[in-house]
Amino acid sequence: MKKNAKDSYISSWKQLAKSWQLLTPPWHPGKKNLNDYKKILREVTKNIKSPKVLILGATPEIRDLLAKYKNINVTLVDYNMEMILAMNELIKNNNFMNERWLKSNWIDMPLEQGYYDVIFGDYITTQVPTILIHKLLNKIKFLLSRKGRFVTRVCYYNKDEIKKFKEIIDKFSKFKKNRRIITNLASELFKSIVIKKNNCYIFSLPLVKKLRDKYIRNKGNNELFLFLDKLFFPYKKQWFLFDLSDTEKIIKKHFIIVDKLREPVGSSLRQVTFIYNLKPKN
């Protein structure tokens, strides 16, 4: 690899880590989330000598949680190896001895049927286009042991949480800028700036950029857009949401909902997020 190309590669994944650091829970798993994960993990694996856990994505907080258990074998799957490297920068328990990394999309993971006792994923269903959601959930079910659990935070669309772009920007312009305010701003946009397509609601960064540019033309630039650019540039990604009823219909085709846990009081995504504890259907 030429030096310039290598420098560019390192720079790109370090930028991912910087963007992640701008945000706080609920965009990261918070203390209550991790306590909920830990409780379910202990219940499922209490009689298993060497539990096998799969993490979809590279969420640092989940990896830190699992690193405390030396008997747990962890598989980490992400299509983008740069993301794994970026998240490595944020790991506190930077002992990767119990992890093996696999570069793969989640639909086609070349892993053994019924192998895993627990599969963790944080907001992963929003990452997958509507046409692939059942394939993803079926793959996760395929990989779980008969008594295994899929534990994931799921975000859904709630029409009562909708606000207009200008209203959001004007509201947050009044606050002193810090990580909590930037996180809450991102959450308000995530809940509000959606395009409906059939029964799916798409949080669209191209639409965010379009509204951002319109705001600048009408009212001038705004300090908040500097933070949005750091978080969302190049404004291409989309997230896919369903309302709560459709979300649970999709889940129930593949899993039994053992429990669902609300986000903590004060969370900017409390009204649109549950942690689901899911058991595969026979």
Specify the pLDDT at position 261. 97
CA–CA gap between residue 24 and residue 180 (Å, rounded)? 6
Tell me, what DSSP letter sits at residue 263? P
- Decide if domain 7-156+243-280 falls under CATH 3.40.50.150: yes
- For the chain, the domains span 7-156+243-280, 159-241
Neighbouring residues of 220: CB distance < 8 A, sequence distance ≥ 6: none
The C-alpha angle 139, 244, 55, rounded to 5 degrees, equals 35
Tens of pLDDT, residue by residue, the chain (282 residues): 344 443 433 445 566 677 788 899 999 999 999 999 999 999 999 999 999 999 999 999 999 999 989 899 999 999 888 888 888 888 887 667 789 999 999 999 999 999 999 999 999 999 999 999 999 999 999 999 999 999 999 999 999 999 999 999 999 999 999 999 999 999 999 999 999 999 999 999 999 999 999 999 999 999 999 999 999 988 989 999 999 999 999 999 999 999 999 999 999 999 999 999 999 998
Q: Say if CB 269 and CB 155 are below 8 A apart.
A: yes
Query: Closest Cα to residue 58, out of 34, 92, 81?
Result: 81
Q: For strands 73-78 and 238-241, give the pairing.
A: unpaired
Specify the pLDDT at position 93. 74
221 burial type by CB count under 10 A (0-12 exposed, 13-18 middle, 19+ buried): exposed
